[in-house]
Homo-oligomer: A and B are copies of this chain.
Amino acid sequence: MNGKFVLGAEITRDRLDWGEMGWISRPADTQAKSICEIEVTLEPGFGHNFHKHPNQEEVIYVLAGEIEQWLETEKRTLKPGDSVFISPDVVHASFNVGTQTARLLVVLSPCVGDGGYELVDVSAEAPWNGLRQA
């Protein structure tokens, strides 16, 4: 494949309990090897709890709304136009603590498997399980 136009109206969107994942690029769709890109919507009150991607870099860019973004034990509020770069195997989390739907453009690279990414959930482990109550 030389490339592919991916129109917003035609994106495959996986509806989940906490929002939606719209696939812009992953090996199964674009034959990408390097760029796994996802338009994520995160509903108010929901989040992606502490996790890491062992072999992938990630950039999260906020398109709309507002998120509480964690990078290891550091926390920042990110608004539209803000982003975070996360090195491989570094623990992070994103929570929508606002009142409107948050929209994020997420890139993971390089791609892993057909789905494009892999994830290790550490939300039940210390210190991650106590950070937000502290």
With a CB–CB cut-off of 8 A, which chain B residues contact A122?
none
The interface on chain A, measured as residues whose beta carbon lies within 8 A of the other chain's beta carbons, has a size of 46
Q: Which of A88-121 contact B (CB under 8 A)?
A: 90, 92, 105, 107, 109-110
With a CB–CB cut-off of 8 A, which chain B residues contact A72?
2-3
This chain: how many copies in the complex?
A: 2
With a CB–CB cut-off of 8 A, which chain B residues contact A131?
none
| Majority secondary structure of chain A interface residues (helix, strand, loop or mixed) | strand
Does residue A81 face the partner (Cβ distance < 8 Å to B)?
yes
The reply to whether B5 and A59 form a contact with Cβ atoms under 8 Å apart is: no
Q: Which residues of A contact B (CB under 8 A)?
A: 1-9, 24-25, 30-35, 37, 39, 56-59, 61, 63, 69, 71-72, 74, 76, 78-87, 90, 92, 105, 107, 109-110
Given A5-B76, A5-B83, A35-B59, 13 extra CB contacts under 8 A = A1-B87, A2-B86, A2-B90, A3-B85, A4-B71, A5-B84, A6-B83, A6-B84, A7-B78, A24-B85, A31-B87, A34-B109, A37-B107
